[in-house]
């Protein structure tokens, strides 16, 4: 299959591109490099340094592809609160430009990178795809809900096949966000540099961590599906943040102090997924245990620190 990956020079996009190539797909990466890195574009993939705002050129870039995996988005929650219009333009309007470009280019299949944030505060655990969407506490989450709605509309109006993947908490090597807002890379970097580890809520918040290679495989697993589909992508295991920190300390072989940051507005006490639906549809399940994934992540960050 010929697949175009938007945001393919990023943390998750580069992993998805690698898996696509390993499985024999023909891959084009489209990225404006505002958040991605040229070095993360996988060998063997075509690369277009371009922006989804380029409505004139977009259909030409898309034409001839069988599917699009759409991951080009801003993700920093704090920035979304400070600059909601920037997030709406980049995450919602640019996604709509992509959908229109696909329609004009005759590309009829989309896999969209969404988020478990769309559920808000869950009414029950584990979270299932049939659970209601919640009120959003920040523009980032609102941008995912809005884009999901537009994707569903294009399915209804134009028959576009669309798979919406709701990620839980991805982690792993090659995460190079600046500023870094995700928990595990911040924990690992602090431990390696022997700084205090930043921790909210005394580490009692529960999250579902999914290793990036497992997450990447989910994107290729759904390429053969038709219609409008929604899937949770998680490990189906909830882990307290403090237990993640303790595991990292065990891996590095020492402990550093905890930087107690107290409570944080907008945090959900606990989230973890049921991924039974995608397992039934495709056979996909998360395979990398948290300990193994953390060991790989620590090794990567240590290697990066050694090059600095």
What is the C-alpha separation between 92 and 98, in angstroms, rounded? 10
Cα–Cα distance measured from residue 181 to residue 75, given in angstroms and rounded to the nearest whole number:
9
In sequence order, which ranges of 193-274 are alpha helices (DSSP H)? 212-221, 241-252
- Separation of alpha carbons 129 and 138, rounded Å: 21
Compute CA distances 145 → 75, 93, 162, 204, 282, whole Å. Answer: 14, 13, 15, 27, 24
- Rounded Cα gap, residues 66 and 62, in angstroms: 9
**Half-sphere exposure at residue 157, Cβ-oriented, CA atoms within 13 angstroms:** 9
List the end-to-end C-alpha distance of the chain, in Å, as a whole number.
39
Residues labelled catalytic: 140
| Residue 305 burial class via C-beta count within 10 angstroms: exposed 0-12, middle 13-18, buried 19 and up | exposed
Pair 271, 234: CB distance under 8 Å: no
Closest CA to 197 of 213, 183, 176: 183
The answer to whether the beta carbons of residues 170 and 214 sit under 8 Å apart is no
* C-alpha pair distances (Å), 87 with each of 25, 56, 71, 143: 31, 22, 14, 7
CB atoms under 10 Å from CB of 18, counted, come to: 20
């Amino acid at each position: 299959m010929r697949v175009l990956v938007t945001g393919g020079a990023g943390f998750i996009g580069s992993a998805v591109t690698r898996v696509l190539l390993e499985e024999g797909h023909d891959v084009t990466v489209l990225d404006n490099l505002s958040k991605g890195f040229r070095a993360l574009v996988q060998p063997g993939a075509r690369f277009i340094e371009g922006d989804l705002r380029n409505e004139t050129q977009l259909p030409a870039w898309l034409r001839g592809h069988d599917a699009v995996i759409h991951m080009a988005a801003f993700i920093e929650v704090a920035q979304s609160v400070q600059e909601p219009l920037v997030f709406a333009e980049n995450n919602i309007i640019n996604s709509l430009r992509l959908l229109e470009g696909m329609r004009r280019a005759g590309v009829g299949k989309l896999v969209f990178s969404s988020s478990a944030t769309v559920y808000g505060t869950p009414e029950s655990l584990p979270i299932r795809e049939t659970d209601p969407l919640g009120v959003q506490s920040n523009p980032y989450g609102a941008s995912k809900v809005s884009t999901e709605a537009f994707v569903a509309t294009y399915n209804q109006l134009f028959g576009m096949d669309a798979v919406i993947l709701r990620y839980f908490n991805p982690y792993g090597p090659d995460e190079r966000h600046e500023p870094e807002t995700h928990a595990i890379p911040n924990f690992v970097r602090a431990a390696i540099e022997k700084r205090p580890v930043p921790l909210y809520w005394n580490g009692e918040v529960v999250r579902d961590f999914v290793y990036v290679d497992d997450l990447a495989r989910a994107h290729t697993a759904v390429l053969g599906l038709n219609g409008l589909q929604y899937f949770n992508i998680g490990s189906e295991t909830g882990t307290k943040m403090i237990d993640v920190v303790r595991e990292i300390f065990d891996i590095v072989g020492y402990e550093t102090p905890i930087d107690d940051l107290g409570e944080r507005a907008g945090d959900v006490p606990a989230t973890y997924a049921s991924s039974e639906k995608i397992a039934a549809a495709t056979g996909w399940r998360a395979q990398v245990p948290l300990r193994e994934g953390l060991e790989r992540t620590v090794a990567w960050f240590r290697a990066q620190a050694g090059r600095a």
